[in-house]
Chain A
Amino acid sequence: MLAATGAKSMEDIYCDVPAEALLAKTIDLPPHQGEMEVERAISAMAAKNLNAAEVPSFLGGGAYRHHVPATVDAMIQRGEFLTAYTPYQPEVSQGTLQYLFEFQTQVALITGMEVANASMYDGATSCAEAVAMAGRVSKRKKAIVSGGLHPHYRDATSTISGLHNMDIDLAAANYAGDEDLISLIDNDTACVVVQNPDFFGHIRDLGPLASACHEAGALLIAVVTEIVSLGAITSPGAMGADIVATEGQSIGNALNYGGPTVGLFAVHNKHLRQMPGRVCGQTTDTEGKRGFVLTLSTREQHIRREKATSNICTNSGLCALAFTVHMTLLGETGFARLAGLNHASAVTLADKLSGVAGVEIINETFFNEFTLRLSGPAAAAVEAMAAKGVLGGIPVSRLYPDNPDMENLLLVTATEVTTGDDMDALVTALNEVL
């Protein structure tokens, strides 16, 4: 092959590289290894972790452990899905395009919105992009961010949408669930960002907030970190949200130490052209058969370059596939059941914990996670419980450091995979460490 190119050596082919930059020998890294050796080495790293599936685990806070049916992984590992690129050539990408169309429909239905895009990186970046989009739609600069928004979402939003010249107005952290955002809205407000259920687990009626936003000409951005909740709670769209920016990990996707996951992004038709990200649309082919294509790409970077609505290119395609396969297995009946099981599990956990000395439940309302106030610092309690093989929740201080008021707060979650024995183990562990 080298001879066919007319070159005598690879050096000839690399002739455009400045000679001083061309490495003469192998870089300082270990030599190649066989499949067995690599698997062994990486398995050894995996074995050093305390895997949340093996012990009673009560962590949520934006990443949730659910049962993912075996079908999901079998489907997403089909090479035709796994090893395809973005469906730029629709004639050989109808598989990807069809599931994206179905995915978009499912997301729109669940969020109560008119349309959804083909996914974002994750919930936090969805939220950041929603704020930037609200700036473009309203032509205003001020974004009011609820103190119940997941701190990572808050920070990603400040970092990313702050670039789009948005002024991010962070409301004080609010773990009590009694935040008043309406009084902060004025005629300069582009949007209000609120999470439901919020980071601390409280559920609120977004209706009054939506009305107040709309009266002032602002958009309501609703964030959901636990998408399963929408099987039980009124959708953000039905409560008046203008943009729904959520995390979809809970459906079809494992925890994966937090990534990759899948951001969901849904809007109403009137704002469609300001939406970031890819969208798939229905059309027909030259024989009149229904088919699907990526569309409205004049919003996107590969066409609009510096005038694009976002710089996003690669999104979360395969995680969106996992989501849509799982959601198809669930259907209307299964999704409602899954939500019901999660809520029942959390209610049962709350009942069990209410009898533990040194534990106070903060929430009046919740879906599958809620906040406890312990008699001592939560971080130490969690560390002590972990030593006993119980992953007892998330110390709120992990995300709100240096806030003495929240030092004793513990966020706990129960899902359909949480057993009665798990709950008893938590009760025992708390009794021992408090």
Chain B
Amino acid sequence: MADTHETITGNRGLQLEESLIFEQSSEGRLGVDLAEPPHVENRLGGLEREGPIGLPDLSEPQTVRHYTRISQNNYGIDSGFYPLGSCTMKHNPRLNEKVARLPGFASLHPLQPVSTTQGALELIDACAHWLKVICGMPAVAMSPAAGAQGELCGMMAIRAALEDRGDVRKRVLVPESAHGTNPATAAACGYAVDTIPANERGRVDFDAFVAKLDTDVAGIMLTNPNTCGLFETDIIKIADAIHDAGGFFYCDGANLNAIMGRVRPGDLGVDCMHINLHKTFSTPHGGGGPGAGPVVLSEALADYAPLPFVTHGEDGFDLVEHKTGKAAKAFGRLKGFHGQMGMFIRSLAFMMSHGGDGIRQASADAVLNANYLLAELKDTLSPSFDGPCMHEALFDDSFLKDTDVSTLDFAKAMIDEGFHPMTMYFPLVVHGALLMEPTESESKETLDQYIDALKGLTAKAKAGDAAYFHDAPRLTPRRRLDETSAARNPILRWRPPVDEAEAAE
């Protein structure tokens, strides 16, 4: 409780205060076993570093304790329910971590002769095969580093295909509900972003979309299921219309988890789609990354896929690294080496563990869990749209009307209840959005406890206890943080305290 007595140390039992590494330094301490380097005649060309860098010196036990302590200030999927909509916070199996660390992969250098990395190429090829079959698409570009880079990959393939036929187009259509990376990617590709409105059912307004189609439109970037957690009912019509207008259909596949094994994007007329392996295929989010964003491609775009890619050669697998032969039309290269190998291994382990049957089951479970939340909460919170949802349930803030409690306040109170908040204020098409994605990993017991907490909090808000929410969270290592002053007066690194620095001079 926040009102318990102060302690001498500032620690509170298991909640331990931990200073910065820079504040714990004691010169000469060492956390590694490295000998003094032998003397050699140096070949640094007179450019040896002068003076200290300013890094702190800590011992190994200090280091272990530091990271252990600060880790305890974090909430992860391992800690509890993490219904962060659009982010697919599913369980991260530890088998995946284990196999990704096999020395045959972890200690493999990317520029070894391909004759010595056949197992790695086999694995990439196997992962690619699963993704192609799941998506019903003929090709996949494996190298993109994350979803946003996958978007770039897809849009560049579209641009290359259009340029190849001498058809330079200037606009890309993006629904207003799209994730921020979509318009940012279209702009990065040199396209003007033309926003299409949603209809009252949370889907693309088909007539408004058709009205915008002309020979200047390179394509549409459409998320399906969309960011409201809804299947785009007109998707096949949309695909046909964009193709008739000579454009391409980019699908944002961040929400593949709702449909894998049940609907193949290839059957919907998609030309390219990124897959966030760190969402659908369970590679850990790691506090912000790394991820991987392979892009499945239609026949029309396959030739433009970036370098490098794996092919089946005469004596095993080959790696095409240069713009010749099969890769003559490749639009270029997106990153160093061959893509996020560590993520391919984890994803393949996930897919093999699930199998074709388990993948189909997982999407149904994820969708069922979301619909359960929607059904159980529809009379308490305010669902944004009628009808069943896909893998995430979206609510607006009208249930908080006249309570003086905002979506943010409400979410912060969830933290005190031991849950990670849902996604807030996204998508932008809904006022004060609360987007909840339970994934297939959660049990009914967890969902029921969460539902009870939400019901209880709603009752509290409606009973007029707004102050409770404004003060939340109370039980966290830190209370609400001042984001305004952080942005106004950015302190982005540690610096020695001024008086100490002066004393040292």
A-B contact count (CB 8 A): 679
Given A71, A150, A280, A330, which contacts B64 in the complex, CB threshold below 8 Å? Answer: A71
B37–A344 contact, CB under 8 A? yes
Any A CB within 8 A of the CB of B354: yes
Q: Which residues of A contact B311 (CB under 8 A)?
A: none
Say whether, besides A38-B349, A75-B67, A365-B45, A90 and B481 are in contact (CB < 8 Å). Answer: yes
B108–A283 contact, CB under 8 A? no
Say whether, besides A32-B358, A300-B180, A94 and B290 are in contact (CB < 8 Å). Answer: no
Chain B nearest CB from A429 CB (Å) reads 13
A118–B288 contact, CB under 8 A? yes
User: Which residue on B lies nearest to A332, using beta carbons?
Assistant: B55
Given A21, A118, A282, A321, which contacts B491 in the complex, CB threshold below 8 Å? Answer: A282
Chain A nearest CB from B425 CB (Å) reads 10
Any B CB within 8 A of the CB of A174: no
A301–B184 contact, CB under 8 A? yes
User: Which residue on A lies nearest to B353, using beta carbons?
Assistant: A38
A332–B52 contact, CB under 8 A? yes
Give Cα distance in the complex from A79 to B43, angstroms.
Answer: 44
Given B134, B184, B268, B420, which contacts A29 in the complex, CB threshold below 8 Å? Answer: B134
Chain B interface residue count, CB cutoff 8 Å, equals 195
Any A CB within 8 A of the CB of B272: no
Any A CB within 8 A of the CB of B38: yes
Q: Which residues of B contact A29 (CB under 8 A)?
A: 130, 133-134, 351, 355-356, 359
Say whether, besides A48-B122, A59-B109, A92-B74, A33 and B353 are in contact (CB < 8 Å). Answer: yes
B286–A317 contact, CB under 8 A? yes
A41–B48 contact, CB under 8 A? no
Chain B interface, >50% SS class? loop
Any B CB within 8 A of the CB of A203: yes
Chain A nearest CB from B273 CB (Å) reads 14
User: Which residue on A lies nearest to B482, using beta carbons?
Assistant: A283
Given A47, A164, A319, which contacts B119 in the complex, CB threshold below 8 Å? Answer: A47
Any A CB within 8 A of the CB of B312: no
Any A CB within 8 A of the CB of B285: yes
Any A CB within 8 A of the CB of B218: no
A268-282 vs B, Cβ < 8 Å mask (1 yes, 0 no): 000010000011111
Chain A nearest CB from B344 CB (Å) reads 9
B356–A39 contact, CB under 8 A? no
Q: Which residues of B contact A32 (CB under 8 A)?
A: 353-355, 357-358
Q: Which residues of B contact A300 (CB under 8 A)?
A: 180
Any A CB within 8 A of the CB of B113: yes
Any B CB within 8 A of the CB of A232: yes
From residue 10 to 46 of chain A, which have CB atoms closer than 8 A to chain B? Answer: 10, 12-18, 20-23, 26-35, 37-39, 41-46
Q: Which residues of A contact B72 (CB under 8 A)?
A: 80, 95
Any B CB within 8 A of the CB of A260: yes
B20–A13 contact, CB under 8 A? no
A146-159 vs B, Cβ < 8 Å mask (1 yes, 0 no): 00001011011011
A81–B120 contact, CB under 8 A? no
Give Cα distance in the complex from A13 to B373, angstroms.
Answer: 13
Give Cα distance in the complex from A25 to B407, angstroms.
Answer: 41
Give Cα distance in the complex from A386 to B104, angstroms.
Answer: 15
Name 15 extra pairs, CB < 8 A, besides A119-B289, A257-B108.
Answer: A4-B376, A33-B352, A46-B99, A69-B32, A75-B64, A95-B287, A104-B493, A122-B336, A165-B190, A233-B44, A306-B187, A314-B276, A334-B30, A386-B113, A401-B322
25 inter-chain pairs at a CB distance below 8 angstroms, sorted by A residue, are A12-B388, A27-B356, A29-B355, A42-B345, A75-B63, A75-B64, A75-B68, A78-B67, A83-B78, A86-B287, A156-B334, A204-B45, A230-B49, A257-B109, A283-B481, A306-B183, A308-B180, A308-B184, A314-B147, A317-B286, A329-B32, A330-B31, A332-B56, A386-B115, A386-B116
